[in-house]
Structure 1
Amino acid sequence: MPGQRLIAALERSVRAFPAESRALGAGRSTIALAQASVLLFTPASHLFVPVGGTDAATDCSTPVQAVALYCLAGTADRQLLNLVLLAVLLVVASGILPRYSTLPHFWASLSLGQSVSLPDGGDAVSQVVTFFLMLACANDRRTWHWQRPDGEVRSESLWQGLAWAGWWGVRLQVAYIYLNSALAKLPIGPWSEGSATYYVARMENFGAAGLFADMFRWATGITAIALLSTWGTILAESAIALLLLRRASRQAVAALISMALHVLIILQIGIVSFGLTMIGAVLCAASRGVDTYAPRGWRRLTRKGRAAPATCS
């Protein structure tokens, strides 16, 4: 019967799920380092500011907000609290005890996302992703998430089912974020017309900056490049969303597209922490594909390098 076949397929998927993943660990570390960079390079006076005519006091009115560090600590110095969260995030980024460090990582993400006055978008993403990572790492028994998996699948454990469900939660959430972003751009004039990147590069407070600012302004001044980069962004986001829900080889491609997209955005307009957060989130969502195909790609590259004939000068 169809119902029984579906249940059997789910059971096989759960049993085969690799609960110990280096790619998932790399994604977690990337997200934690992105969050740590905000605390390291931004003083508390710039994170907690008056918004909309209100003072800079932290809102602790809901149960979720009340468990944030800035609410639990009351009137303690916020710069000191930033250092506490920075220490937590650096421990998480180290990869120690992934099964247990996901809990303080989620708490740190919650503390930042629910308290900071001027979030950058990555805060909301990290809250949701680190919530599902608490489940996705539930059956990871390693001391460090950089260790090679021991190859033993503990499929009979309840934690295995939770880990599988958590990983799917990450995949579905990250795919939704990218698909929603792509579809939300379509009704907006500059995006549908293909001129959005031209205007973005020239925005006064949010435009091209850094070493490559002049190059990006020049490039987006060329109609064909502006059109390709604008629609290329929409197509890349759509592709990431769809590929994350496909089989392992497609997930690895989604990770590559995400890295290329966000590195280009970082080079053009900055927002480093947001870009790294999204790259880390996609690595977590595509971890099965990256674990499978990244080593194969590396071996092929190194094999070609060794096989290349020596040349005489």
Structure 2
Amino acid sequence: MERSIRRFPAESRALGAGRSTIALAQASVLLFTPASHLFVPVGGTEAEAGIDCSSPVQAVSLYCLSGTADLQLLNLVLLALLLVVVSGILPRYTTVLHFWASLSLGQSVSLPDGGDAVSQVVTFFLVLACANDRRTWHWQRPGGEDRSGSLWQGLAWAGWWGVRLQVAYIYLDSAVAKLPVGPWSEGSATYYVARMENFGAAGLFADLFRWATGIPVIALLSTWGTILAELLIALLLLRRASRQVWAALISMTLHLLIILQIGIVSFGFIMVGAVLCAASRGIDAYAPQWARRLTGRPPAGRLATSP
């Protein structure tokens, strides 16, 4: 464990990319959805704007602390805050603000899409994971100073493991929960999902997906393929670094297909961002190698030889 902590890359571009992806997805909700659609009475109550501030956790959200301030104005405040996070400036400190913004949205919005709950947990662990990141900007190369023996390094390592275990559990739970459900176990779930009235195929590719899922073999493969992809993501995230890269690629492919089929764009990008954070160690280690292969550049420190 001590060796693992010392070798952990506390300053990570991949982790920064995941943070920015999550924050950008959250910002898109505030940018394209008016407050009147996010805050509505639910549960048969007529509470104003549908905001509950009864619990201590809910009470610290921006919407509860601000009292009677205009909700659309508060949305703009959180939007500005999230865009600061997207920029990557001062990651060690903006992770705290990101967690507070995620908490404010997740605890106050009356009609969440599922990504809100994920972002609350992931951004909490990111506060720890970025505790030893002293860069001005999370797109910078890691600094040369050795701080691997500090207390902050241990907290960063623990925070990254928190993200890794939590995201792996989310995908494992999602896959296992589908198995006893009839349409999923018999391979017809994507057929019915594509034809749901309020949650089905939409957009440019709606007719294509409805046609494709009408073919039994494609419906079977896409249904069981979703379960298999979720299981692979969960298992690969817990493997060594090279396997984590494959988890990120599978997650991107899975959620891109879901976005093209039924939308839920913000949820998809939050999950992709969470996987990027969880797989950051593997991505940091192997992305340069893949980039050199794609561009044909020689490895660092080695001169290219002419034929």
Please, what TM-score do these two structures have when normalized by structure 1?
0.93
1:159 matched to 2:152:
yes
Is residue 50–residue 110 contact of structure 2 (8 Å, CA) maintained in 1?
no
Q: In structure 2, what is the Cα distance between the partners aligned to 1:267 and 1:151? A: 42
Q: SS where residue 75 of structure 1 aligns?
A: coil
Q: Residues 99-178 of structure 1 correspond to what in structure 2 (within 5 A)? A: 99-178=92-171
1:18-71 Cα deviation digits (max 9, x unpaired): 100000000000000000000000000000012121123311111110000000
Shift of 1:155: 1.3
**Gap regions ≥5 residues in structure 1:** 1-9, 305-313
Q: 2:17 aligns with which of 4, 26, 34?
A: 26
Is residue 17–residue 273 contact of structure 2 (8 Å, CA) maintained in 1?
yes
Q: CA RMSD in A?
A: 0.9
1:39 partner amino acid = L
Is residue 136–residue 163 contact of structure 1 (8 Å, CA) maintained in 2?
yes
Q: In structure 2, what is the Cα distance between the partners aligned to 1:33 and 1:54? A: 32
Q: In structure 1, what is the Cα distance between the partners aligned to 2:292 and 2:198? A: 44
2:149 partner amino acid = E
Is residue 70–residue 111 contact of structure 1 (8 Å, CA) maintained in 2?
yes
Shift of 1:151: 4.0
1:260-298 Cα deviation digits (max 9, x unpaired): 000000000000000000000000000001111122112
- Larger CA deviation: 176-185 vs 49-58: 49-58
Shift of 1:152: 3.6
Q: SS where residue 217 of structure 1 aligns?
A: helix
Q: SS where residue 50 of structure 2 aligns?
A: coil
1:70 matched to 2:55:
no
1:207 partner amino acid = G
1:198-226 Cα deviation digits (max 9, x unpaired): 00000010000000001101110111110
1:147-186 Cα deviation digits (max 9, x unpaired): 0112444111100000000000000000000000000000
Note closer, same or farther for the CA distance 1:151–1:256 as it changes in structure 2 (3 Å cut). Answer: farther
Is residue 19–residue 153 contact of structure 1 (8 Å, CA) maintained in 2?
no
Q: 2:177 aligns with which of 184, 194, 202?
A: 184
Q: In structure 2, what is the Cα distance between the partners aligned to 1:153 and 1:26? A: 23
Please, what TM-score do these two structures have when normalized by structure 2?
0.95
Q: SS where residue 126 of structure 1 aligns?
A: helix
Q: 2:6 aligns with which of 5, 15, 24?
A: 15
Note closer, same or farther for the CA distance 1:219–1:168 as it changes in structure 2 (3 Å cut). Answer: same
Q: SS where residue 197 of structure 2 aligns?
A: coil
Residue of structure 2 equivalent to 1:248: 241
- Larger CA deviation: 161-170 vs 46-55: 46-55
- Larger CA deviation: 148-157 vs 12-21: 148-157
Shift of 1:303: 1.2
- Larger CA deviation: 147-156 vs 35-44: 147-156
Is residue 18–residue 153 contact of structure 1 (8 Å, CA) maintained in 2?
no
Q: In structure 1, what is the Cα distance between the partners aligned to 2:78 and 2:192? A: 37
Q: In structure 2, what is the Cα distance between the partners aligned to 1:294 and 1:49? A: 44
1:220 partner amino acid = T
Q: Residues 219-258 of structure 1 correspond to what in structure 2 (within 5 A)? A: 219-258=212-251
* Matched positions, count: 295
Residue of structure 2 equivalent to 1:201: 194
